[in-house]
Chains A and B, each alone.
Chain A
Amino acid sequence: MLIQQLVNGLTLGAVYTLLALSYSLVMGILGILNLAIAELFMIGGFIGFTLISAGFPLPIAVLGGMLGAASIAIIVEKIGYQPLRDAPLVTPMLSTLGFSIILQNIATNIWGSDPLQLPIFGEQFEIGPIRIGEMQLLVLGATVVLVALTAYIVQKTPMGRALRAVAENRDVARILGVSADRLMMMAFILSGALAGVAGVLIALHYGAITPYLGVEIGLKAIAVMVIGGTTRIWGALVAGPLIGIAEVLTVAYGGSQIRDFVVYGFMILILLLRPQGLLGGARSDQGQRV
């Protein structure tokens, strides 16, 4: 049972990692917590789910979820962030919270509150005592690839360098000719696209989706981001599986009543002992290091 529980924990951790990555991008560059990301994840999932139900292949569903979530991220940035970016940090954060609630209501009105179901996607394999599905393998593989790809974009490409410049000092970046407005928008689009992809993969893995999908997973992903280090993309790759496995083992051997106590207790402990997170650097004033 322990090996199966570790596989369960790794898959759950991969889910958190994907979403934490999305939070990290905006947090690391703009220093704000975009609370609408959990709902971009949910909307992306619904779009992918709808496309799969309509008979489209998986790559089209993933692309649809990614584009749909990225498009909404543009609206969130234009209306919920851009006009408020010079306000205290809590203001745009509350504005994204408003978007989160609106998106949840829109989804409830379009798709209903009942879980939508699809047949379990892909084959299930028995490997000794372990049972693992194609979608689980896809979620695990996609997590590693997306984390690596995001890290590559941020660290190695001209756009990534510009993003880091904006993160370091927005005003100086502007003086040096970097279009901060365009890059801030780009950060939202990238994080929305990541959330959308994650939504499609997770919805298909569970074979079900509800408008409340993002609420619980979103909060855990924020905890993963904090534990991994809000400024470090690789932090999510370490913290996600750690939290996923801790959560699953707690449920299996301690009970679900203490599950959240363990996860959020660990987050508080990290905040107290190592505020920059497990992989974070020394400074963490606004998290400006991606």
Chain B
Amino acid sequence: MSRIKSNLPNVLGASRVLGTVAAVTLSALVAGHANAQTREINLGAIVPSSGPFAEWGRSNTVTLKMLEKQTNDAGGINGAKLKITILDDAAKPAQSATSMRKLASDEKVLAVAGPLTSSAAEVTFPVANELKLVSTSQASSKPGTAKQNRPWAFRNTIDESVLAKTAVPYFKKSFNIKTVAVIFDAKDATAATVGKVIMPSVLKANEIAVANENDLLSFNTGDLDVSAQVTKLKSLNPDGIVISADYSQAITVLREMKRQGLIKPVVGASQLISSAILKAAPEIPVIAPATFYSTMKGEAPEKFTAALTPLLRKESGLPKDIEPNMFDANIYEIVSMYIDAIKTAGVTGKPEDLEADRTKIRDYMAKLEGFKGLGGPIGFNDDGDAIKAFYVLQGQGGNWDTKVKGCSSAPNHPAC
């Protein structure tokens, strides 16, 4: 009796121990599984969801949310959930730099997609360098912006001077252009550089005279009345017009050209690519370069456009007939590159490895070649700018058509 009495607790004790071990093991397994599911890989994005470039920022946001969902639905990144923290910089350089600091310190992101504009990139890239955090712009194309901020700044875009060297000869040949007049948005960094520096030099190299070479016409972002400038353009009677402005501002010029009966072909930078610009004055041909456009052929771009278009059209504050633009494609590619880097470069995503992980992503980006982008393979040159294919498009009658294919590197490069 006493033995029984004395053993019972032992038996009970043994089963308690076994039960505890089993419970701990089971809970560890469950917790481990749950940890893998709840562990997060943090990436950041800076887009202008308010202010004058809000349409691009909002469509970028929808694109990023789609990519986040696609990635997590497919099992995440190495078992961890992808979280993209998106901050609005309203296209203001100071706000963009503050967003970069917040993403680096508060959100502890591994890399940042954005900012969008060259003006914001010029201020934010030095902060990325200071913080040792990769920042890749989806739209900046002002020459030298990434080059001046090595080694952490990248741009999934092509320098406008490279693009103009292909767009201008096509423009000249197609419309028999001998003279042009230039008008640009003086308050936009890229537009001002393209209008004042790049275009005059490329036009000169192609033996096209600039009728207002010593008196380039300009306007300011947000101006609705450009009647004085267009009257002057008309008085110069050029064969074609160079409009250097983002599409929303260029629309104002095109409409005034139509109102004053100035129906002349237009050439500009990649900033002109938009479906909206084709509605402004459908009878005026517009020539501009792009790395992606919504009617692009191919499995990857068609799949991307088919998935994104309905999401964009459901989003409030965006036009009902909106289509994915080049910058949506660019930011999609940027985050896809980061995901690929995390998967393949030994990035752990652990807080104690944050600095090392960020460096691994930078090294991956610097050495990248042949990444499968929507428009073909992508790599980066030593200046941090994308090496990728581009297309000179002609917009007329409401559609963009590909006229010439180019490449931002030598013709034998894999991206070409």
Contacts and interface: CB of A to CB of B under 8 A. Distances in A.
Contact of A1 (B50, B232, B248): B232
A252 B215 CA distance: 10
A264 interface: no
A118 to B, nearest CB: 10
Contacts of A248: 227-228
B255 A256 contact: no
B259 A216 contact: no
Interface in A265-290: none
B231 A4 contact: yes
A252 B55 contact: no
4 A-B pairs closest in CB distance: A113-B54, A8-B227, A251-B228, A248-B228
B228 A115 contact: no
Contacts of A108: 50, 54, 317
B82 to A, nearest CB: 28
A256 B218 CA distance: 6
Q: For the side of the interface on A, what is the size category?
A: 35 or more
B6 interface: no
Contact of A256 (B219, B251, B259, B319): B219
Nearest to A116: B319
Contacts of A208: 224, 251-252, 255
A40 to B, nearest CB: 17
A110 interface: yes
Contacts of B229: 251-252, 256
B215 A255 contact: yes
A117 B255 contact: yes
A117 B276 contact: yes
Given A109-B316, A213-B224, A257-B186, 10 more contacts: A12-B225, A113-B54, A113-B55, A208-B252, A212-B52, A215-B222, A216-B220, A255-B217, A256-B220, A257-B218
A194 B22 CA distance: 79
B54 A252 contact: no
B258 A120 contact: yes
Interface in B193-218: 215, 217-218
B260 to A, nearest CB: 6
Q: For the side of the interface on B, what is the size category?
A: 35 or more
A115 B251 contact: yes
Contacts of A114: 55, 248, 276, 319
A206 B255 contact: yes
A252 B52 contact: no
A114 B51 CA distance: 10
Contacts of A256: 186, 217-220, 223, 229
Given A108-B54, A114-B55, A114-B276, A252 B255 contact: no
A111 to B, nearest CB: 8
A252 B233 CA distance: 10
Nearest to A11: B227
Interface of A: 1, 4-5, 8-9, 11-12, 15, 105, 108-115, 117, 120, 124, 126, 131, 133, 202, 206-208, 210, 212-213, 215-217, 247-249, 251-252, 255-257
Contacts of B215: 255
25 contacts: A5-B231, A9-B228, A11-B227, A108-B50, A108-B54, A113-B50, A113-B52, A113-B53, A113-B317, A114-B276, A117-B279, A120-B255, A206-B225, A208-B251, A210-B248, A212-B52, A216-B222, A216-B223, A217-B224, A247-B228, A251-B229, A251-B232, A252-B228, A252-B232, A255-B217
A12 B259 CA distance: 15
A109 B217 contact: no
Contact of A131 (B50, B225, B261): B261
Contacts of B228: 5, 8-9, 247-249, 251-252
B263 interface: no
Contacts of A115: 248, 251-252, 276
Contacts of A110: 317
B280 interface: yes
B235 interface: yes
Nearest to B281: A120
A112 B229 CA distance: 27
B90 to A, nearest CB: 10
B296 interface: no
A115 B246 CA distance: 12
B99 to A, nearest CB: 19
A107 to B, nearest CB: 10
Contacts of B317: 108-113
A135 to B, nearest CB: 9
Nearest to A247: B228
Nearest to A248: B228
Nearest to A216: B222
B123 interface: no
Specify which of A1, A8, A15, A212 lies most central, judged by the most chain B CB atoms within 10 Å of its CB: A8
